[in-house]
Amino acid sequence: MALALKDAHDVRGYDPDAGARAAAAARGIAVVERLAELAPADAVVVATPLAAVVPTLEALAPIAGDAVLIEVGSLKSAVAAFAERAPKRVRIVGVHPMAGSTASGFIAADPALFRGRPFLVVPTVRSDDSAMAVAGELGRALGGVPTVCSVSVHDRAMSAVSALPLAAAVALTLTASRSAGVPLAGLAGPGLRDATRLASTPVDLAVPLLRDAAALREDIAGLREALAAIERAIGDDASLRALLDRAREARRELEG
Amino acid sequence: MALALKDAHDVRGYDPDAGARAAAAARGIAVVERLAELAPADAVVVATPLAAVVPTLEALAPIAGDAVLIEVGSLKSAVAAFAERAPKRVRIVGVHPMAGSTASGFIAADPALFRGRPFLVVPTVRSDDSAMAVAGELGRALGGVPTVCSVSVHDRAMSAVSALPLAAAVALTLTASRSAGVPLAGLAGPGLRDATRLASTPVDLAVPLLRDAAALREDIAGLREALAAIERAIGDDASLRALLDRAREARRELEG
């Protein structure tokens, strides 16, 4: 984000890690030595691991002044709860750019990552019209497509889009390797590789995603029921065909 | 296979579809107009949809002479059962090149498809030493790596490697699209796309794979139990981390 914005905006960056600050400075980002030096500003973007989002908002609240606090966490309910108890004049908006890669660190930063991708804007009780406008401008400045949705819609969809596929890949990997009876290394084709790829997600990213996705238990129950429906349809080609047709149709819609 | 073998061997091809015969002829394959014209030969390779493998072997048995009948179906138990009742002098070997693409038709044929990939050789009760040697030579001539395994080991592994990932992708696609609450088109990133890709398998290929995979019911039960284990671990980070560590390790082994 900083790389994409720095030419047209006055961007300052802060990271608690000196190495990250040096890497950002080497790519032309002005860096500051303390979180407090980010204010005053029009907006402060909080882009930390999920567990650090609310503590960072808490640290920024007393010093934010007129700056809109914008956070990019992958789940929003904890931010919504913080907004309910935040100091009165602090403005907080959640955003979620639907873009990413498996790489990490400033060295992997790509200012073009957000172009043409949905940029979800998720209001809290502390999002006024001008704060929402700043968040929308941020999304457009990155080349994204701003779309407003509620905390509950956001977190519900993220469970289905992120946490459930991760859980499914983990379960499939464990089951396939246990039940094949032979080493899978030579036998696994692109189908199994694609279907299990998310099981390689770093554990430190995977744990909070599975733990905090509000609807995941319900979604896993739904997935288990869908598997049971396939199991029941084995031996009844018409039912099996109907299930497969519906899945192909849903897969086509998912590709957009 | 025909494209890969035709320069070093006397290859003739037959397909019941005249268009397929013409496409093969256009790429330099000698084609014949009737199945019976494939004999005499050292080997006849049966490469049909799974449901047509045994009927084609039945049609070839009376005219095979000394030709080894080699079939490339993705499951072997029906071939093994046919071999038990086949005419006494007919020799039958199953093979399964672990290679493929989502494209179909002669136009997509690629003689390099098998290079460096496992080429499973699966004996029946009608596979003598010389028949097994012919099957192994076929695999090596294609650039593959011949590996002998039993019908039961083969079909068990194929359930885990092919049928189970397909069932998982179908169930995940149906569940994610039902539970997200919003259209997934814009939100689906590479994770969900990869995890659901097999749900796009043509229904005519998917139905027999799910119906005939001997161990699929058991494997689906295993997958449902693995999902239940993840569900139970939500809220207990140490258990969740242990599951995720095991899945990452299994995923690494699968990549070989």
Q: Which residues of A touch B216 (CB under 8 A)?
A: 231, 234
Which ranges of chain A have pLDDT less than 50? Answer: none
User: Is the Cβ of B147 closer than 8 Å to some Cβ of chain A?
Assistant: yes
B203 Cβ under 8 Å from any chain A Cβ: yes
Q: What is the pLDDT of residue A218?
A: 94
Cβ of B175 and A240 within 8 Å? no
- What pLDDT does A102 receive? 66
Yes or no, beta carbons of A192 and B165 under 8 Å apart: yes
Q: What is the pLDDT of residues A55-80, one digit of tens each?
A: 999 999 999 999 999 999 989 999 99
* Of the partner residues A178, A189, A223, the one whose CB lies closest to the CB of residue B175: A223
pLDDT of B180 reads 78
- Check residue A182 and give its pLDDT: 74
The strand ranges marked E within chain A are 12-13, 30-31, 43-46, 68-71, 91-97, 118-123, 145-148
Which residue reads 């390797």 in tokens?
Answer: A177
Letter for the amino acid at B51?
Answer: A
What is the pTM assigned to this prediction?
0.80
- The CA distance from B33 to the nearest CA of chain A, in Å, is 33
**Cross-chain residue pair B177–A219, CB shorter than 8 Å:** no
Q: What is the pLDDT of residue A226?
A: 97
> What is residue B126's predicted lDDT score, i.e. its pLDDT?
97
Whether B107 and chain A come into contact, CB under 8 Å, resolves to: no
* DSSP state letters, A53-67: HHHHHHHHGGG-TTP
pLDDT of residue B102: 66
Residue with the two structure tokens 């070989």: B256
- What letter would DSSP give residue B106? G
Window 157-186 of A: residues touching B by CB (8 A cutoff) are 157, 159-162, 164-186
Q: Do A224 and B228 touch (CB under 8 A)?
A: yes
pLDDT value of position A249? 95
- The DSSP line for B10-35 is --EE--SSHHHHHHHHHTT-EE-SSG
Out of B191, B233, B241, whose CB is closest to A162? B191
- Using CB atoms, pick whichever of B189, B199, B210 lies closest to residue A251: B199
In what helix (H) or strand (E) does residue B94 lie, and over which residues does it extend? Answer: strand B91-97
The per-residue pLDDT string of chain B (256 residues; one tens digit each, 9 = 90 and over) reads 999 999 999 999 999 999 999 999 999 999 999 999 999 999 999 999 888 999 999 999 999 999 999 999 989 999 999 999 999 899 999 999 988 776 778 888 999 999 999 899 999 999 999 999 999 999 999 999 999 999 999 998 989 999 999 999 999 999 999 887 777 777 777 889 999 999 999 998 899 889 988 889 999 999 999 999 999 999 999 999 999 999 999 999 988 6
Distance from C-alpha of B203 to C-alpha of B65, rounded to nearest angstrom: 37
